[in-house]
Amino acid sequence: MNLTVYLAGQIHDDWRDNLKRKAKNKDLSISFVGPQEQHDLSDSIGENILGAQPGNVYRDDAASAINNFRTEVLLKKADIVIALFGEKYKQWNTAMDAATALTLNKPTIIVRPESLIHPLKELSNKANVTVETIDQALEVIEYVYK
């Protein structure tokens, strides 16, 4: 049985590659999808396709329309969502993706450091499972195959 896992969360470090490598080491049959990980491309994709916009608000809106399009296509394919919150950044996208997935009844795992327990408590309570490390998230998925 192959499962598709959407990896929501920050795109500022290599946690996805890390997680994919570990999943491979465990021989889990998983297809990973997720947001655009090249930060610059993610911010400029609107103007890249639609041309220069009259200011930052419009530039951001153009980019986010295309990022949301991408997420919507891929999230639908997902059997499982992992949403990782780090200590930096606002990460409202991550909260949006997790809440969207949960409302669509996609089984969702939240990964967050201990320091974020309090501000994430409602989303965490709503998620299926909350863990602190990607290793734990992977163990949860591995359990499905056992």
Q: Looking at residues 89 to 128 of the shown chain, list those that interact with its own copies (rule: CB under 8 A).
A: 89-93, 95-100, 102-105, 107, 109, 116-126, 128
Alpha carbons 97 and 111: distance in angstroms, whole number: 13
The answer to the question of residue 64 lying near its own copies (CB under 8 A) is yes
Specify the residue, 1 or 25, whose C-beta has the smaller distance to its own copies: 1
Q: H or E element: which one contains 84?
A: strand 80-84
CB 138 within 8 A of CB 111: no
Residue with tokens 């949301």: 68
Minimum distance from CB of 23 to its own copies (Å)? 15
The answer to the question of residue 68 lying near its own copies (CB under 8 A) is yes
The answer to the question of residue 63 lying near its own copies (CB under 8 A) is yes
Minimum distance from CB of 57 to its own copies (Å)? 6
Minimum distance from CB of 131 to its own copies (Å)? 7
CB 126 within 8 A of CB 91: no
For residue 135, give every residue at least 6 positions away whose Cβ sits within 8 Å of its Cβ, in sequence order, or none: 22
The answer to the question of residue 72 lying near its own copies (CB under 8 A) is yes
Residue with tokens 């999230």: 75
Minimum distance from CB of 21 to its own copies (Å)? 19
